[in-house]
Structure 1
Amino acid sequence: MDSREIEQLLAEETLDFKKYVNLVLRYWYWFVISLAVCLGLAYVVTRTTHNVYQVDSTILIRDDKNRANTGAEALLSELSLVNNTKSIQNEIGIIKSYTIAYNTVKELDSFHTTYKQLGKSGFKQNVVYKNIPFRIAYDTSYNNPHGTSISIEFTDGKTFTAKVNNGDFSDPKTIGQKVIIDNFSFTVIPTASYSEKELAGQTYIITRNDLNELANVYRNKVKVNLVDKNASLISLSTTGQSADQEAEYLNKLVEVYIRQGLEEKNQIAKNTIDFIDNQLFGMRDSLQRAEVQLRNFRMNNRILDIDKESSMLLDNLKNLQTSKATVEINQRYYAYLKNYLQKRDSYSDIVAPYTLGINDMQLINQLNELSQLSTERENMKMSVKQNNPAMQQLEARIRNTKNALMEKVNSLIATNNITNDDINAQVRKIESNISSLPINEQMLINKTKMYDLLDKMYTYLLEKKSEASIAKASNISDCKIVDPALAINAELKQPKPKMNYALGFILGLLIPLIVIILRDYFDNKIRTVKDLTGKLPEVSMLATLDHSQLPVDIPVIERPKSRLSESFRTLRTNINYVAHGKKCMTLLTTSLISGEGKTFCASNLAAIYALSGKRTLLVGLDLRKPKIQKVFESTNHYGMSGYLSEQNSFEKAYKPTSVSNLWIAVSGPIPPNPSELIGSPRMEQFLAEAREQFDCIIIDTPPVGIVTDARIIFEKVDLVLFITRMGVSPKDVVEYCKELHSYLGSKLALVVNDFDSKKSYTSYSKYHYRYSKNYQSEYYEN
C-alpha cells in the first residue's frame, strides 16, 4: 500500500465535519420543528408535573467515642447483654424498617386521609395538607374500606355532590349533612380554614389510606445515609408534594425511633430488676424466720456470745457460707437461663450474667452472639419472607449458637454442682468439730450460720437491684437530633423549569442531528459528487449533468438553452479533450444498475455531437431491454441483433433520425444469446465499417453490474463513460469502478447524472446553484 492509498484510506475514515455542517444547513427546518416540539413538551411537563419537595433531617448516633462515660452509662453497659457500641448500619436498617414506618404513620392522624385538589386543567392533583377547608368524618357503623377515593365537587361554598371511585355522583348535599354511598358513610365538616368563596367550583379527591400500604410507601422513599464514613451522623430525607407533611413525618419518625431505643434500653434494666425481685421474694420470709429464731434462741438461753474456739469455727463457717451463697445465686441464674432458652424464641432481652457477678467470657460471648443474631432476625423479618435463603441461613446460625450455649449452660451447672459439693464437704467437716462443743453453742452456731447465709444473699441481691434501678432512672437515648426536618428548608426537586427547557433545547438540537447522521450513515446511495471524486481520485469525472424536470427525452434538441443542454455541451468538450486526435471516437455508456440514465445520456450525447456537425451513430447494444427506438420514436426491426446474427446487412442495421447528422442502430428483436452475439466477429466488423462512415460512435450497453455484455467490447472502444445517478447509484459503485480502472486505466471516465445543486450539500454545489440562478434568465431557459 503506497502513501497515496494510505492517505485516501485515512480520509475515508475521518468524519467529514464540513459535510455534516452543510447537511444541517440544508435541513434547518428539521431543527426548527424539533425545537418547537421539544420546548413545547418541556412546557407541558413543567406545567403538569406536581411540585415535589425534598425534606432533610440529621441525627447523631452515640457510640463509645462520643458517649459521655457517666456512672449510669457505665452501669447500664454492665447490665446490657449486647455491647453498647452501635453498629451504624444496623441503626440505619432499624430506621428504614417497616415497624418504625408503621408506628410513625399510625401516630400521625393527619396521614390517615389524603386530600387532593384537582387543578384547572383536570389533570394535575395537588396535595392539600395544611389549611384544609374541610375534613371528612367517617361513620364507623359502615365499612368505609381503605384505599377508596371519594370525589367531591362543590357547586358553591355549601353544596356539593360526591361519588366513590368511578361511580355516579350522589344527589346534592350540604356541608354537615351525612352522605351515604354504597359502603361509605361520611360527613363533610368545615375547618378553621373554611371559606365559601374559595371552595365554590373546586373539586377534591379524598382517599382513606391503608396504613400498611402507607407504611411501605414511606419505608421505600425515605433515604437514610451516613453523612461521613468516619462519623456517626446520619442524614434522613424524603420527598413528597407537601413539604409540611414530609417534615412532620421525618420528625415523627425520629421521635418513634428514639422512643423505641429508650424502651429497649429500659427493658434490659427492667428484666434485671424483675429477675432479682423473683429471687428476693422467695428469700425474704426465710431470712425473717432465721432472724427471729436466732433472736429467740439467744433470749431463751441467755447466750449473747460464744467463746474463742467457737468463734473461730463460726468465722470459717461464714466464709464457706459466703462461697456457698455465690454458688447458689449462680445456680439459680443457670437454671433461669436454661429454662429461658428452652421456652423462648427471641433472645434479645436475656438478663446479662455480669448482673450477678458471673464473668465467664465464653458464656458472655455466646450470649452476645445469640442476642445479636436474634436482633438481626427481627430486622430481617421486616423486609424478607421466612423462606428466603438468607433468612434460612440466619435461622441455622441461631440454632447452632443456641445448641452450643445449651451445652455451655449444662457444663456450668455440672461444674457448679461439683463446687457446691466441695463446699458442703468442708462445711460438714467444720460441723463435725462443732459437734464437740456444748449443745447450746452448737445450736447457736447453726442458727447463726443459716441467718448469715440468707442475709449475705439478700443483701447482695438488694445491691444489684439498686444498681439496676439507678441505671434505669438515668437512662438516655443513644440518638440526638442535630437538625430537625423543617418545611421552610425544603428543596424543590420537581418541576425544574430551567433544567426542563435546557433539556428540551438540547434534545431539540440533538434529535434531528442524530437522525441526519444515522440517515447519512445508513444511506447506501451516492448523494454528492465528493462521494465519487473523494474515493476515486484516479478516475476522471468528465461532467455533472444537471437535474431537469423537462418533459422531453432529448432536451438538447427541444430545449437547447436549458442548463441540462449546457451540461451535455460541457461533457462533449471534455470528451474531445480526452480523445484529442482521434479520427473517429468510439464511446461506450454503461452503469452499475438499471435506472441510472445511461440510455438518456447516450441519446443526448449523440444529439449534441450531431449538432456540432459530426456524423454520429448511436448504437443500441442493450439487446435485452431495447430503448433507443422509443426515444427516437422508431421501429425495432432489423437493427443490431439482426446484423450480428447475419440476418441483415450493415446498411439495414442503422437508419437516419430527424436530427441532422444523427443515425441510430436500434437493438432489434431480442435474441436468445445476446452475449455471444456481441462477442462475435460480426461486432468487430460492424465497428470497422462504422468507423469508415462516421465521426463519432456512441454505444449504449446494458448495466455492467448485472450482465457481462458491456465488458465484452470494452477493449474495442476509445472511452468508457460510466454513468452514475445522484440518489440512485449505490455506494458500491466506487469499489466497482476501482476494479474497472485496474484494467481499463485512463479509458474509464465518470459522468454524474441528475445532479441537483439545490439538494446537494457541498460548497461547489451551492456555488453552482447560486451562479446558475443569478444568470439563468440571461443564459438559460426554464
Structure 2
Amino acid sequence: MEEEKEINSLSGIFDIRQFFSKLIKLWWLFILCIAIGLGYAYYKNQFIQTVYSASSLISIKDNSNPLFTSSQSLTFNWGGTTDKVTTAIVQFKSRTHAEQVVDELQFYINYIKEGDYYNTDAYKKTPFYIYADSSKAQLSGKNIRIKVLDQERFELSSNFSSTTASGYHYSLKKGQAVTVPEGDWKQQFKFGDSIQLPFLNVIIDKRTESIKTGEWLFNFGNYWGTVNKYKGISIRQQPDGSSILLLSLSGGNKQRLIDYINTSSVILERGELQRKNKFAVSTIKYIDSSLVVQVAALKKSEQDLEDFRDKSQMLDATVQNTDFNQKLTEFEIQKRGIQNKLNYYDNLNQYLQNRTDYTVIQAPSVVGIEEGSISGAVGRLISLSEERKRREFAMRADAPVFQQIDRDINAVKDVIFENIISSKSLLNKELNTLYGQIGKVESQIKKLPKEQQEFLKIQRQFDVNQNTYNLFMAKKAEAELVKAANVSDVYIIDEAKDTGGGGTRRDSNINYLMALLVGFSIPVSVAFILTILDFYIHSPKDIEKLSKIPLIGVVGKMDHPTNLIVKDKPKSTIAESFRGIRSSLHFIYDQESLYGSRTIMVTSSVSGEGKTFTSINLASVFALSGKRTLLVGMDLRKPKIFDDFGIKNDLGVSNYLVNDCSLNEIIRSAGMENLDIALSGPVPPNPSELIMSKRAGEMIEQFKMDYDYVILDTPPLGLVADAMEIAKHADASLYMVRQGYTKKGMLDVVNEKYDRKEIKNLSFVFNYFNERGKYGYGYGYGYGYGYGAYGNGYHENDLKDGFIARIKKIIKGIFKPG
C-alpha cells in the first residue's frame, strides 16, 4: 500500500490535463507573443542583405627560365611544386599580403549609400572615386557627407563636437589626432582638385564624364580591422593535392570581392617574379656599379692614347701592332680575370661570415667562375635561405624545422669555404705563372726605345680596359636577358569577374517560422512552469492520486450573500450536493449507535476551505429531512457560525466548558425547524485545554442523547490538535479540500493520521468546484462566501498583516494557479 501511495504521489507531479487547461487560459499570451514575434520578424527581414561570392583560379608551377643553361648561373630553381603551393596558400592568408592588397586598393576607404533600414557598401557604385594621400593623416571613423551639386562641383559636410578628432596615418600605420573645425562644417570643391585639409587629404574625381547628382557618405575605417577581415579568404586546392588553387570570398559588395581577389593574385604573381629576378637584379646592380669605374678608366686610357699619338707622330703601324704588345695585353686580361675571381672569393667569404641573408649574392659567372661546385653550392645556399624566409610566414621562430635548415645552411657554407680555399690556391698558382710570363715579355719590351715602351704601355692599358668593359657589357646583357625571360610561378587561369549572377539572400520565412516557434514556446513554457510550480489541488482526480481516503462528495460554488444556501435555496444544485453527501454518510457509519444518533465532525487543513459553510448546510439538510439536528461551533479560536444566523456570540460552548452556564442555556434556535445551534462563545485564553477537558466530552455525549444528528464545526486539523480530541466522539469525519486553495502537501498530515487509524470513518469533501460535469461528482456549480485565513490565528499574540505582507498576498493571488 505504501508503494502504491508513492506511485500515486509521483504521478501527480505533472498533470497533463492541468497543463492543457492552463494553455487554454493563456490564449491571450499566445496572441500577444505571436503578434510581437511576427512584428519583430518583419522588422528583421528588412535588414537581410544579399551576400555575393567571387572566385578565381590560379596555378602554381615551376616555370623555369627557357634561356637558362648550365653556363648561365644567373637563376636558381629552388623548392618543388608542393612547397610552392603550400607557401602560396600561407602567403594569401598572411597579414603582410592582406596589408599589401588593402594598401594598393585603399580598401580602408568606405563608400556608403544610406537606405531606409540600413546603409549599404557603395564601393564602385558611386559616380566618383576617392584617392587618399597615404603620406598624410586622415580623419578616421567619422562619416563625411558628399553631395554632388553638378557636373563640376560637389560639397563635403560633417559635424565635429570639438577641435580635435581621431585620425590615422595609413603609411605609418599608426593613429594620430587631427585638427577639425568645431561644429557644423561645409565646403565646396571641384572634381579632380587636390583637397588639402588638416584632417582630409584626398582627390575626388568623376568615374565618368557624365555624373549624376545625389548624396553619399564616406569614411576612413579601421585599418587593421580591414586587414583582418580579408585574411579570411578561402583557398582550396582543386582537386585536392593539386597545384591549382580556387580563391573565393563572400561579402555584401561583389565588385569589392572581385577587386580584392584579382589584386591579391597580381601582387602574389608580382612578388614571385621579383623573387625569381632577385639574383639577376642583384647581378645587374653589381655590374652597373663596376661599369661606372670601368667607363671612367676606359675614357682615361683612351684619352692618354690620343694624347700620346698627338705628341709622337713618328710611330709607324709596325710598332703599333707589335707582337709584344698583343701578348702582354692577353696576359694582362688573364691577370685581371684571375684577380676578379680572387676578389669575388674574398668578398663571398667575408659576406658569408658577416651576413645571414644569402638571397642577394651575386652570380659567380659574373666574374667568369664556371666551377660547378661553387655555382651549385651558392644555388643551394640561396635555396635554403629562401625556404627559411617562406616558412617564417607560417611558423614560430623556435620551430624545429628552422634548426634543421640552419644546420643545412652551415653545412653548405662549410663546403663553400673549402671550395674557396682550394680555388684560391689554384688561382694564385695560375697568377704566379702569369707574372713570370709577363716578366719575360716586359724584359723584351725594355730593349725598345723609351718612346715605344711608353706607347705600348698606354696601348696595353687601353686594350685591357676595353676588354673588361666589353666583358661587363656582355654579362649585363646576359643578366637582363635572363631577367626579361623569367616568368612568375603564379599563373592566373581564371580571374574573378562579374558574370551577372545574383547573390544569395537568407530566406525571410525562417524569421517568421522562428517568430511562430518563439510565440508558441513562451506560453507553453509559462504553462509548463506554472504546472510544475502548481502545488494546489484542482480536481477530485488530484485527491485520488494523493490519498487513499475516499471522496464522499463534491460541492460547487454559487454567489450568495451568506452560507445559508440550503435554507435559502433548498432546490439549488448546492443543496442537492449536500443531500448527496447526507446519503453517502449512511454507508460509512458504524452499524450500531449508543444513543441512536450520529455525530459528524467537519474539519480541514487550514482556514478558508469551507468547514463552516459545509457544517451549516449539512446541518440544514438533516433538519429539512425531519431529523433533530444540532450544529455545534467547536472552533473556539475563530468562531464564525453566529454571523450567518445573526446571533450574538456572547454565550456558547466556551462558557459551558468553564462552568459559566448550563448546557440548555447555550442551545439556541436557528430559525429553522428541527435545527438548533450551540455557538462557540467568547474566545477563551486556553481553547485546547477546554476541548481536551472531561466536561467537553460529557457535553458532546449529552448532545448525542438529545439529538438525532450532531454536526461539529471544528478547527483545522492541519494547524492545531483540537480536532483530534473532538474526533474521538465523532461517528464520521469530513475533511474539506477546496479547489485551487488546498495545497497538495497539506494532505500529508491527514494521510498519516488515517494510516495510523487515529480518525475513523474519514472522508474528503471537495469544495468550490467550478468545472461543470467533471468526474461525475456532486451536482452543483457554485456558491460564494467570505473566508479568512487561519494562518497563525490559532496562536496567541497574533499580529495583523503589515503593508508588505498584504502586497505579497495580492501578488500571490494574481499568480495563484487555477
TM-score, with length taken from structure 2: 0.68
Deviations, residues 580-609 of structure 1 (Å, cap 9, x unaligned): 745433222222222222222222222222
Q: Tell me how far 1:742 sits from its aligned partner.
A: 1.5
Q: Post-superposition shift, 1:45? A: 3.2
Matched, 1:545 2:555: yes
Q: CA deviation at 1:152?
A: 8.7
Is residue 618–residue 663 contact of structure 1 (8 Å, CA) maintained in 2? yes
**1:673 is the counterpart of 2:686:** yes
Deviation at 1:413, TM superposition (A): 7.7
**CA gap 1:269/1:362 in 2 versus in 1, 3 angstroms:** closer
- Which of these residues, 261, 272, 277, is aligned with residue 279 of structure 2? 272
Preserved CA contact (<8 Å) 1:721 1:751? yes
1:489 aligned partner: 501
- Corresponding residue SS for 2:774: helix
Report how far residue 546 of structure 1 moved.
0.9
Task: Specify the code of the residue in structure 1 equivalent to 2:518.
Answer: L
Match of 1:748 in 2: 762
- Aligned pair count reads 694
1:359 matched to 2:377? The reply is yes
Deviations 1:373-429 (CA, angstroms, capped at 9, x unpaired): 54359xxxxxxxxxxxxxxx749999999998997798678656654675478669x
Whether 2:638 is the aligned partner of 1:629: answer no
Matched, 1:40 2:39: yes
> AA paired with 2:234?
N
Distance 1:437 1:545, change over 3 A: closer
**1:90 matches 2:90:** yes
How far apart are 1:699 and its partner, in Å?
A: 2.0
Correspondence 1:700 to 2:713: yes
1:780 alignment counterpart:
none
Q: Which residue of 1 aligns with 2:180?
A: none
State which of 571, 581, 597 in structure 1 corresponds to 2:581: 571
Shift of 1:503: 2.0
Say if 1:222 and 1:399 are closer, same or farther in 2 by CA, change over 3 A: closer
In the alignment, the residues of structure 1 paired with residue 780 and residue 362 of structure 2 have an alpha-carbon distance, to the nearest angstrom, of 102
Aligned to 2:619: 606
Q: 2:262 aligns with which of 248, 255, 274?
A: 255
| Equivalent residues of 1:722, 1:748 under 8 A apart | yes
Structure 2 residue aligned with 1:385: none
Please point out which of 158, 167, 170 is paired with 1:164: 158
Give per-residue Cα distances to partners, 1:599-623, cap 9 Å, x unaligned. Answer: 2222222222222222222222222
What percent of counterpart residues are identical?
Answer: 20
Q: Are the equivalent residues in 1 in contact too, given 2:669–2:677 (CA < 8 A)?
A: yes
Contact 1:116 1:127 in 2 (8 A): no
Paired residues of 1:324 and 1:423 also in contact (CA < 8 A): no
Higher helix share: 1
Query: SS of the residue aligned with 2:562?
Result: coil
The 1:409/1:190 distance shift into structure 2, 3 A limit, reads closer
Contact 1:584 1:691 in 2 (8 A): yes
Larger Rg: 2
1:96-245 equivalences in 2 (<5 Å): 98-100=98-100, 102-103=102-103, 105-106=105-106, 112-117=110-115, 119=116, 125=119, 145=139, 147-149=141-143, 164-165=158-159, 206-210=216-220, 212-213=221-222, 216-217=225-226, 219-220=228-229, 223-227=232-236, 230=240, 233-240=245-252
Structure 1 residue 467: Cα displacement? 7.3
The 3 A distance-change label for structure 1 pair 94 and 547 is same
Superposition deviation, residue 2 in structure 1 = 7.0
Residues 171 and 256 (structure 1 numbering): CA distance in 2 closer, same or farther, change over 3 Å? Answer: closer
Q: For 1:763-782, what aligned pairs fall within 5 Å after superposition?
A: 765=774
1:602 touches 1:618 (CA, 8 Å); kept in 2?
A: yes
1:559 is displaced (CA, Å) by 2.6
Unpaired runs of 5+ residues, structure 1, are: 241-245, 306-313, 342-346, 378-392, 445-450, 759-763, 774-782
Tell me the secondary structure at the aligned position of residue 771 of structure 2: coil
Q: 2:350 aligns with which of 303, 323, 335?
A: 335
Is residue 2:534 matched to residue 1:511? Answer: no
Preserved CA contact (<8 Å) 1:590 1:722 = yes
Please, which of 382, 385, 390 is the counterpart of residue 372 of structure 1?
A: 390
2:734 aligned with 1:716, yes or no?
no
Q: Specify whether residues 670 and 506 from structure 1 end up closer, same or farther in structure 2 by C-alpha distance, changes over 3 A only.
A: same
Cα distance change of structure 1 residues 638 and 160 upon mapping to structure 2, 3 Å threshold: farther
Residue 526 (structure 1) aligns with: 537
Residue aligned with 2:603, SS:
strand
Shift of 1:517: 1.2
Structure 2, unaligned stretches of length 5 or more?
162-182, 303-318, 366-373, 446-462, 782-818
Deviation at 1:69, TM superposition (A): 7.9
Summarize the Cα distance change of 1:719–1:237 in structure 2 as closer, same or farther, 3 Å threshold: farther
* Residue equivalent to 2:738: 725
User: 1:554 and 1:161, CA in 2 relative to 1: closer, same or farther beyond 3 A?
Assistant: farther
- Further displaced range: 462-471 or 726-735: 462-471
Q: Which amino acid aligns with 2:350?
A: A
Asked if the contact 2:139–2:199 (Cα under 8 Å) also holds between the matched residues in 1, the reply is: yes
How many Å apart are 1:248 and its aligned residue? 0.8
Q: Report what 1:58 is aligned to.
A: 55
Aligned equivalents of 1:630, 1:257: Cα separation in 2: 95
Residues 155, 750 of structure 1: alpha-carbon distance in 2 compared, 3 angstrom cutoff: farther
- Give, in angstroms, the shift of residue 484 of structure 1: 2.7
| Residue 706 (structure 1) shift | 2.3
Contact kept? 2:15, 2:531, Cα under 8 Å: no
Q: CA deviation at 1:190?
A: 12
Per the TM alignment, residue 101 of structure 1 is displaced from its structure 2 partner at its CA by 5.4
- Compared CA separation, residues 129 and 256, structure 1 to 2 (3 A): closer
SS at match of 2:639: coil
Question: Given the superposition, is the C-alpha separation of residues 92 and 590 from structure 1 closer, same or farther in structure 2, using an over 3 Å criterion?
Answer: farther
C-alpha separation in 1, matches of 2:232 and 2:413: 46
1:647 aligns with 2:660: yes
In 1: Cα distance, 2:204 partner to 2:337 partner: 73
Letter in 2 for 1:216: G
Q: Is the 8 A contact 1:327 1:419 kept in 2?
A: no
Q: Distance in 2 between matches of 1:253 and 1:112?
A: 14
Q: Which of the residues 511, 516, 525 maps onto 1:500?
A: 511
Q: Distance in 2 between matches of 1:192 and 1:653?
A: 115
What's the secondary structure of 2:233's corresponding residue?
strand
674-683 or 418-427, which deviates more: 418-427
